[in-house]
Chain A
Amino acid sequence: MEKLKDALDFSDFSKTERICFIIFTIFLLVFPWLGVGSFVKTVMIQFMLFSLFGMGWNTIGGYGGQVELGKAQYVGIGAYTVALMMVWWKVPFWISMPIGILIALGYSFIIGYPLFRLKGHYFAIATICTSLVLKDIFDNWNLVGAAKGIELPIHEHPDFLYMQFKSDTYYYYFIMGLFYIAIFYMNWFRKSKLGYQLRMIKDDEDAAESLGIDIRWCKIKAYSIASAFVAVGGGFMAVYNLYIDPASVMELSLSIKIALMAMLGGAASLWGPIIGAAFLVPLDRFLGSWLGGHKGLTGIDFMIYAMLIMIVSAYQPKGIWGIIEQFRKRGR
C-alpha cells in the first residue's frame, strides 16, 4: 500500500513539472485521434518503447552510476521468449511475457554475480562482451532461427491473448500502458531504500560500504530490475514487429542507444530517459531514412551519437534535464 502511495505521489516535483506531466499525458491519450499518419504513430510507439528501455537502464546506469552497455541482450531474451513460445507451443503473450521476465531476471543474476566484481571501464567492457556473446550464440543457433530470425504467425482478427493487432492504435495504447507503469515504478524506485543506497554507491563506494551497504548485491538487484524492464520492451517488440532476428533485438548499437538516451536526457532523474528518447528517437528515424537513401553514408548516425556522448559528458553530465535545472536555479 505504501509503495503504491509513493509510486503515485509526485508532490516533491515542482508545480510546472506536474502540470507538464498532466498535459503530456492528455496529449498521449488523444494522440492517435489527431489524424496523424502511420509513420508518426510508429515514431511515437518507438519513443515510448525507448523511454521504457531508458527508465530501466536508469536504475543501474543512472542512479547506480554504472556504465552499463549490454542491455540489448535482455531485449533479446524478452523478445525471443515471447516469439519462440508463441511459434513452438502457441503460448499466449500474457504467459510467455512473465516467463521472459523470469528468464531475464535469472540470467541477470547469473551474469551480474561475476560482472559486479569489476569496476569502471572494465565493467563497461564486460557488459558489452556478455551481450556480444549472446548475440553470437543466437546468430548461429539453428533451433531459434539463427541469423535469419523468426517470424510470428499473423492473426487475422485482433487477439488480446496473443497481443496481435492489424491496427497500430492497439499497440500504441499497449505500450503507453507499459510506459506509465514504468514511470510509476521509477517514481517509487527513486524514493526507495535501494534507490538511496545506489546513489550513495555512485557518490562514494567506500562510504557506502561503511554504512552497511552490500555494494555488489545492491548493484546486482538494480541490474536485474533494469533487465526485467528491458525484457518487457523486448516482448513488446516481438508482438509488434512480428519478426525478430539477432540483428534487430541484440545488436550492440541497441545497447548504446538505450544508454545514450538516458544519459542525454539526464541520468538519475525520472524525466531524463523520456526527454532523451523524445530527442533521439525522431533523430534516429530521420537519420535512418535519410542515410538509407545515400549509400556510403551508413555509420554517420553513429558518429553523431558519439559526438552527442562527448558533448553531454563534457558540458553537462546531467544531460538535458541538468541544463533545464540549471536555468531554473538561475531564474530563482
Chain B
Amino acid sequence: MAFLEVKNIVKDFGGLVANNNVSFEIEKGEIVGLIGPNGAGKTTLFNCIVGYYRPSSGKILFKGKDITGFKPFQTSREGIGRTFQIMKVTTGLTVLENVMVGAFSRTDKREVAEKEAMGIMEFLGLIDIKEYHINELPIARQRKVGLARALATKPELLMLDEVASGLNHTETDEMVGLLKMLNKEKDMTIFLIEHIMEMVMSVSKRVIVLDSGVKIAEGLPNEIVKNPDVIKAYLGEKYAKSH
C-alpha cells in the first residue's frame, strides 16, 4: 500500500479533458515533482486530489483510505496540506492570524494556536512581519505565509503548487533548502508542482510529467530531462528532432 495512490483520474470540464487517466503512487517520505507545460492539468490534478474538484472518474487513496470525493476540509483533516498557485491577496487577517487559523485545526485554545504559529513562523523566518497583512508583502513573503499556514495544520503530505514562482535565485535556493529540511527533519512527504526545471531537479527524487492532461513520463530527474517525449512537450517538435 502506497502512501498516496492516484488511480485512473479523469477530469472532464465539459469537453475539455484536463486530466486523462492519470495514475501514480507516492511513498511516504518521498519528494515528488509534477511538471508539465502551461495548461497541462497540474493544478487540476492537485484540486482533484484535495477535493476542490470531484474527479469525473478514478480513485484516490491516502494511507489506504479512499478519499475520492472528500471535501477540501476533510482531506486537510486526513493530513494533506496544500498551497495555492495564485494566493489571494487579503487585507483582513494578519500574517500571525493566518498561521494561527492553520494551527486552530488541531486545537481549540488560542494560546496553543498562537504558540504553534509562532514556532512555525520562526522556522520560516516570518516573525518580523507577523503584524503585517498579506497585501503588504512582496510575493516571496506571501508564498511563505501560504506555506506557513499549511504547515500549521501539521500535514503528513504537503502539496505545493508553484511555491517558487516569482522568487529570485537566492529565494529559490532558500526554498529548496527549506523543503529538504521539512522532508528530512519533520518527516514530511512532499508533492510539488514546479515550472522551473532546475528547482524540480534539485529538490525531487522522482518526477512525474503531465502534458495535455496525460502522464507522459515518470522517473528520476536526470532520466526525465533526457526523455524525448518530455523534451517535445516542453520545447516543441522541432527542438526534439534537432537533438
Contact = CB atoms under 8 A, between A and B. Distances in A.
Contacts of B203: none
Contacts of A268: 92
Interface string A214-247: 1100000000000000000000000000000000
B88 A206 contact: yes
A204 B105 contact: no
Interface residues of A, number: 23
B153 A199 contact: no
B232 interface: no
A278 B97 CA distance: 31
Interface string A195-207: 0110110111011
A199 B92 contact: yes
Interface string B84-102: 1001101111000110111
B92 A210 contact: no
Interface string B142-180: 000010011011000000000000000000000000000
A324 B81 CA distance: 39
Contacts of A213: 73, 101, 105
Interface string A175-200: 00000000000000001110011011
B184 interface: no
B104 A197 contact: yes
Interface core residue of B50, B71, B91, B104 (most chain A CB under 10 Å):
B104
A209 interface: yes
Contacts of B234: none
A210 B93 contact: no
B93 A211 contact: no
B82 interface: yes
B231 to A, nearest CB: 34
Contacts of A204: 88, 90
B3 interface: no
A196 B150 contact: no
Nearest to B159: A210
A211 B105 contact: yes
B72 interface: yes
Interface in A43-87: none
B52 interface: yes
A207 B153 CA distance: 12
Given A191-B110, A212-B77, A213-B105, A207 B97 contact: no
Contacts of A215: 73
A193 B110 contact: yes
A272 to B, nearest CB: 14
B102 A211 contact: yes
Nearest to B108: A193
Interface of B: 50, 52, 71-73, 76-77, 81-82, 84, 87-88, 90-93, 97-98, 100-102, 104-105, 108-110, 113, 146, 149-150, 152-153
8 contacts: A193-B110, A200-B98, A209-B73, A210-B82, A211-B73, A211-B152, A212-B73, A214-B73
Interface of A: 2, 6, 191-193, 196-197, 199-200, 202-204, 206-215, 268
